[in-house]
Structure 1
Amino acid sequence: MRCPSCGGLEDRVVDSRAAEDGSTIRRRRQCEHCATRFTTFERIGEVSLVVVKRDGRREPYERAKVRSGLDSACKGRSIDAAVLDSLLSTVEDRLAVRGGEVESAQVGALVLEELRHLDGVAAVRFASVYKGFQGPEDFEREIQLLVEPPGPLPS
């Protein structure tokens, strides 16, 4: 790990602990050259997912793209960045179980499902882009999904 202060490559770990959401390890390090302390985060190596787009194209899954959509949907809402990171980790864990290739619609549906539990306004904003709303009736339909309790699961 390169020291952010002096660029040295020699450091030692001073402290390690699980981050709040449990999906990362937080490590405090100290540079052996300049004694600067800095923090790093470790994640388990990502399973390489391929996203199949609506038009059939295949692209590698990019966390930053999904995060950008979340940030846009949550703009102006009082949602902490750590909460969004946790939401994204939950979605990625659920996608990893499916493995290999996932459709972009599956990614969007999982994000929307998690956002509905977090913030209704952000969920409607996200849905408007993800589902390609064309008019006010689309917003009305999505809001109804938020206010109506889910029906019984089919047996």
Structure 2
Amino acid sequence: MSVTFFTPAPVSAWAFSCGHENGVTAHRFATWQEASDFLNDQARDDLGTGALAVCGDDYCFAFGRMMTHAILENGGPSMQVSNHNAVRILAAIGLTAREPICGEREAENFMARVITSTPTDVHTADCLHKLREIAEFALETGRPVVWA
């Protein structure tokens, strides 16, 4: 098991996808509701949504059921560590971890904890350096720092 420290990326637009990696359409909608309404109209008018498929798979084009797909903004830096190391790192910045290991702090609070912590070994120092990058990005974008 592992824990990832990151800043959540907001949705910048909505598109459609058949589920294939290369299946995201060029359509862009401001809200999920606008995308859903368009997709429902397409399904009603064309007896399906396969005509929107862009992946090149014949099955998707003929029978595919397109779904709404969130287009995310830049998520920024992240760090993945084992559960054991996550507990140690959280303790180093003054936080207690409980199972499941997940949480959230406002960027200012998280940064203050990181810059006032004292690493006990090289690995912890490296992790704290990466956490500082994550906290700086969170401060710049007005997002919290999350771990899960």
TM-score normalized by structure 1? 0.24
More RCO (CA 8 Å, sep 6+):
2
Greater C-alpha radius of gyration = 2
